[in-house]
Chain A
């Protein structure tokens, strides 16, 4: 089926991006492993849609496709939440850095004034 070929090609592309980013040092080994596993699972479900049907039966959802949509939605919300919290942490770190520079400059200015006196 064409859809299976397309999914496989996309998963191969995503896996190559994971490897490239890991090699460039932009990912920790743990992150690399997580995303590698994630795309392998996506590829597996794409190539063997029956897996989704088993999942649907296990979850008590009618069809395999529905199970995929539910799981994907949950995953997307979780990833969004993680991204939000990470951005927030980065913002706070930047503020801490800017504050430290401002305070250090202020201390230096004070030292200069004392030296002039």
Chain B
């Protein structure tokens, strides 16, 4: 693994209370950690930089999809072999990254999805239900299926992030990634990852209204 150049990208919007810890944990795995500060109104960017991350600042908030597109663009310009994306709220454990990228390092996969549902995790019912709906919608609209389409914890080999073209700005990027991977016939692996939901991480992510907006955006994307 030591000869694999790993870039860890953390999209973050107003994560000042958590970003410091996430960055420090990621730096234990790789020296190349970037935070895409997505127009935060708190000190997310400042704390991330102090913790040792390289910070890319969005002047205005572009949402998760916009932040991930920036991560992909940065990775393409870098000399990284593998790109890992992980949420900035600390719900995923950076300690799982070696396990996540193992199928890529072994040459068995181009893209690895960290799945919250392949091992015993305390995932709130609302999240489980949301993911089931998102999986069905992704399969119905794009004909693609993985067990955890909405996971923010993924790994991409250069063969993937150098060729994938992403357009969507919001949470629908998660389904778009699955679609892109599927359409380009990239080799997929799913790895069980641990996830921690507390009051903070539970409040993040998609609520019902946000979910409906994402659904609308996905249908529009399918039509256009």
On A, residues with C-beta under 8 Å from B are: 81, 84-85, 88, 91-92, 94-95, 98-99, 101-103, 105-106, 109
Interface size for B (C-beta < 8 A) is: 21
CB contact under 8 A between A98 and B56, given known A91-B169, A92-B167: no
Q: Is B2 an interface residue (CB 8 A)?
A: no
Q: Among B39, B65, B70, B167, which residue has its beta carbon within 8 angstroms of that of A103?
A: B70
Q: Is the interface of B mostly helix, strand, loop or mixed?
A: mixed
Give the distance to chain B from A33, nearest Cβ to Cβ, in Å: 25
Q: Are A103 and B56 in contact (CB under 8 A)?
A: yes
Q: Is B73 an interface residue (CB 8 A)?
A: yes
**B171-209 to A contact mask, C-beta < 8 Å, 1/0:** 000000000000000000000000000000000000000
Question: Could you say which residues of chain B place their CB within 8 Å of the CB of A85?
Answer: 220, 224
On B, residues with C-beta under 8 Å from A are: 36, 39, 54, 56-60, 62, 65-66, 69-70, 73-74, 77, 167, 169, 220, 223-224
- For B72, the closest partner residue in chain A by CB is A99
Question: Could you say which residues of chain B place their CB within 8 Å of the CB of A91?
Answer: 169
A88 vs B70: C-alpha distance when bound (angstroms): 18
Q: Is the interface of A mostly helix, strand, loop or mixed?
A: helix
- For B168, the closest partner residue in chain A by CB is A92
Q: Are B58 and A98 in contact (CB under 8 A)?
A: yes
Q: Are B73 and A99 in contact (CB under 8 A)?
A: yes
- 6 nearest A-B residue pairs (beta carbon): A95-B66, A102-B56, A99-B70, A95-B62, A106-B56, A98-B58
| A-B contacts, 14 listed (Cβ < 8 Å) | A85-B224, A88-B220, A88-B224, A91-B169, A95-B62, A95-B66, A98-B66, A102-B59, A102-B70, A103-B74, A103-B77, A105-B57, A106-B54, A109-B54
A73 vs B196: C-alpha distance when bound (angstroms): 49
Question: Could you say which residues of chain A place their CB within 8 Å of the CB of B169?
Answer: 91-92, 95
Give the distance to chain A from B176, nearest Cβ to Cβ, in Å: 12
